[in-house]
Amino acid sequence: MTVTVLLFASYADALGERKIPIDVPNGSTVGEVVRRVREMAGSARLPTEPMVAVNEEYAKADRRLAAGDEVAIIPPVAGG
Amino acid sequence: MRSAIADHVIDPAALTAEVAHDRNGATVLFLGTVRETNDGRSVTGIEYSAYRSMAERELAAIVAEASREFGTSDIVVEHRVGTLDIGEVSVAIAVAHPHRGAAYDASRYVIEHIKRRVPIWNREHYSDGTREWVDPTAHRAAAEAVR
């Protein structure tokens, strides 16, 4: 199945992408998708357990994904 | 209740007018503004970006929580995105309530939760021409290491 990884701010700069489609086995978790992203060039600054949102809601590493899910890797937020 | 991610200049007077009601005896307006220095470096501006759709959802959720917890629906929040100059308003929170204590508490609740949860990032522009993404967690980690 394919999920879409979204990157922002410092993470988008580091990987040079804002949106990456990734093929993963059915039933993969957030943690597995993060591991895949951390294998990519430029991902050195991604922590092992970054904040992640699935379809615009914060999710834990063991959350199972479905095809088409939007997996946003969220750098430390700095609003205000 | 209303919340928004704003591309336009925030008008604090319009926000306070929006929460005004005869039942209220207190109105608290919080403004976050762009400061000229950060960590000893001279700042010329800040560029805010957001995961917009999620930031809108998260802001709306925070306002709904504050409304339930502090007992007023007269809460309006706007957060800017884009490049802001020194002194510009990056976030405005207007809360009105029959009593001041709850108005202050609700205002505080909203800003603290924005800082923790809303997917917004800022990149500071410095007077030497460099730019850096601000990482509040790095700052906290450094403060804890010193302690």
Interchain contact, A8 vs B53, CB within 8 Å: no
Q: What pTM value is reported for the model? A: 0.94
Count how many domains chain B has: 1
Q: Please tell me the distance in Å from A46's CA to the nearest CA on chain B.
A: 13
Q: Are B74 and B19 in contact (CB under 8 A)?
A: yes
pLDDT above 90 for A29: yes
Considering the domain A2-74, what is its CATH architecture?
Roll (3.10)
Rounded CA separation A20/A4 (Å): 6
For chains A and B, CB pairs below 8 A equal 71
Domain ranges in chain A? 2-74
Strands of chain B (E only): list them: 2-6, 26-33, 37-38, 41-50, 75-80, 82-85, 89-97, 120-126, 131-133
Domain at B57, CATH number? 3.90.1170.40
pLDDT at B146: 63
Please give the average per-residue pLDDT across B116-124, as a whole number.
97
Contact residues, chain A, for B90 at CB < 8 Å: 79-80
Interchain contact, B49 vs A74, CB within 8 Å: no
Q: Please tell me the distance in Å from A11's CA to the nearest CA on chain B.
A: 10
For residue A74, what is the nearest residue in chain B, using CA coordinates? Answer: B119
pLDDT digits (tens, 9 = 90+) for B33-71: 999 999 999 999 999 999 999 999 999 999 999 999 999
Please give the average per-residue pLDDT across A61-80, as a whole number.
97
What residue numbers bound the domain in which B101 lies?
2-146
ipTM, interface predicted TM-score of the complex: 0.94
pLDDT grade for B137, boundaries at 50, 70 and 90: confident
